Structure 1
Amino acid sequence: MTVLHENHDEQHLWDCIVAFEGYPFQTISGLPFSYQLKTGRNGELTKELWIDRRENSKSLAWSSVRLAFEKTEGRPVVARPKALGDIRGISYIYGIFLKFGLIEAAQNNTKKEET
């Protein structure tokens, strides 16, 4: 993650996404989730995150992650997920970005994570 902070670019973000596959994350409201990456027919990972939440998985497109990532440049404190934009799956992306240290939650939002 240090490399991602030093080199705020898409390739380093992808490297972190791959490294943290299956890692336990939380949404801002404290709901646990993780994600999986699938392998395509060509044997390479698809750029689609499958969010494991309850019994159903949700697909999160790389384009959504990338769009939110572009909005983190120069914005260390992001009060809530929607502050990054009206992006599909933003509550999950927000949790991932918090863990990666790309953003910080506003003080009043950190109480859920501490419990």
Structure 2
Amino acid sequence: MKKMEEKLKKIVEEQNLEQENPEELALLLWQVLKQYEQVEFQTVKGLAFTYVIKGNEMFIDRKEKSITKSSVLLAFQNLVKQGGIISGPKKLGTFGASYLYPIFMELGWIVE
């Protein structure tokens, strides 16, 4: 699994979206995120949360609404475009960013 995480980290570091097949990138990203289901993360404000993935949706235990796979991919693409240098969740520019930001940070894709 670490190999897939490292591949995504390399994509971020090299800002290398053009050479990636969007469908393969989405699949890879989703596979990595599935491995972290039920792991506890904390929002920037320190609120603990976990998530589960069902089909093409990520369900956060603190929310009623789900985050779609396309929103997660969009957030990742925005992260890549900024070279992993993101100053806060809003910079991801998508619904659910307050939950995606700490996950991406924990996986080492966000450069502080």
Unaligned runs of 5+ in 2: 13-24
SS at match of 2:103: helix
Q: Considering only CA atoms, is the larger Rg found in Structure 1 or Structure 2?
A: 1
Q: TM-score, normalised by structure 1?
A: 0.72
Give me the whole-angstrom Cα distance separating, in 2, the residues matched to 1:103 and 1:75: 8
1:83 equivalent in structure 2? 91
Q: Which residue in the other structure is 1:50 paired with? A: 59
Q: Counting helix residues as a fraction of each chain, which structure ranks higher?
A: 2
Q: Please state which structure has a larger fraction of its residues in strand.
A: 1
Write the distance in 2 (CA, Å) between the matches of 1:104 and 1:30: 19
CA contact (8 A) 1:52 1:58 kept: no
- Asked if 2 retains the 8 angstrom alpha-carbon contact of 1:47 and 1:62, the reply is yes
Aligned to 1:25: 41
Which whole-Å deviations, capped at 9, do the CAs of 1:30-88 have from their partners, x for residues lacking one?
Answer: 111010122xxxxxxx01011012xx543111111111110111422211111121x21
Give unmatched runs, 5+ long, in structure 1. 39-45, 106-115
Matching residue's letter, 1:15? Q
For residues 68 and 10 of structure 2, the distance between their equivalents in structure 1, rounded to whole angstroms, comes to 25
Aligned length: 95
* TM-score normalised over the length of structure 2: 0.74
| Residue number in structure 2 paired with 1:10 | 26
Q: In the TM superposition, what whole-angstrom CA distance separates every residue of 1:10-40 from its partner, at most 9, and x where no partner exists?
A: 22211111111111111111111010122xx
- The whole-number CA distance in structure 1 between the counterparts of 2:52 and 2:36 is 9
Alignment counterpart, residue 103 of structure 1, candidates 88, 107, 110:
110
1:7 positional shift: 5.2
* Alignment RMSD: 1.8
